Structure 1
Amino acid sequence: MNSLSFTRLRQRYTDDTTLGGAGAAPALARALEFIGWRAVREPTPEELAGHLALLLDHCVHEHRDVMALTEGVAMALRDTGPLLDGGLPPVAAYYPAAEALLRRYVADDGLAPQAAPSYL
C-alpha cells in the first residue's frame, strides 16, 4: 500500500529538525495544501501540521513504522476534517490522502503547490 521508505522519511525529518532546520511543520503544511486541505477551512494547514509533526516525530524516534504513521495521519485527517452527512467514513478512506501527504512531505521543495489535486 505505502511505498514510502522509512529511511527517506527519517532523513527528511532529520534534515528539517536539526539545528538551523525549519522544523517539519512548514513542509507538512505545504503537503496539506497539496492534498487540498485549505478547502476544509478549519483547522488550517498550519494548525494541523503541528499535530502531524508530533506523529512524524513519534514514528522517527519510536515505532519506525510507516504504515502506523500513515494510519495516524489518516485518522487525524478524518477526525479533523468535515463531517460528511453527519457521520465519519472509515479511517481507510483517508489512506490515499495520508499517503499522498507523506510522499509530498518527503519530496517538498519549499515552494507552495501550483495545482494541487484534491484527495479529500
Structure 2
Amino acid sequence: MKRLTLFLLSLFMLGCSELIDPPKNLVPKDTMAELLAEFAVNEQLGMVVSNVNLDNATRFALQQRKVKGNDFVESYKYYTATGDIEKIMTQAQKIILNKDPAAKEYIEKKIKENKNVPPFVR
C-alpha cells in the first residue's frame, strides 16, 4: 500500500512539474522578441556589408536591453522547451515588418524556399 501511495504521489509530482525550470534571470518574452528581431536584421546586414562585426552587434543589442548573454541563452532554451518560442518568433517577425514593410516579400520568398518554416504571420 505504501508503494502504491508513493508511486501515485510521484506521478502527481511529475505531472505538475514543468519540463524545464525557468532560469533565474528569465528574459521577458517581449525583450526576447526584440532581441531576435535585431539579431535577424544584423545577420541580413552582415550578408550585404562584408565588414560588419556580428559579435559586436550582438553584444551591443544585449547591452542596450541590459541582458547578459548567458541569460539570453538560458531563456531561449526555456522558451524552446515550453513551446513559447514560436510566439516569440512571430512577435519578432511583426517587429521586423513594422520597421520595414518591404521585408514581407523577402520573408514570403524564404518561406517558399524552406518548407520547414512555419506559415507567415500577416
Normalising by structure 1, we get a TM-score of 0.33
Q: Which has the higher helix share?
A: 2
User: Which of the pair has the greater relative contact order for Cα pairs under 8 Å at 6+ separation?
Assistant: 1
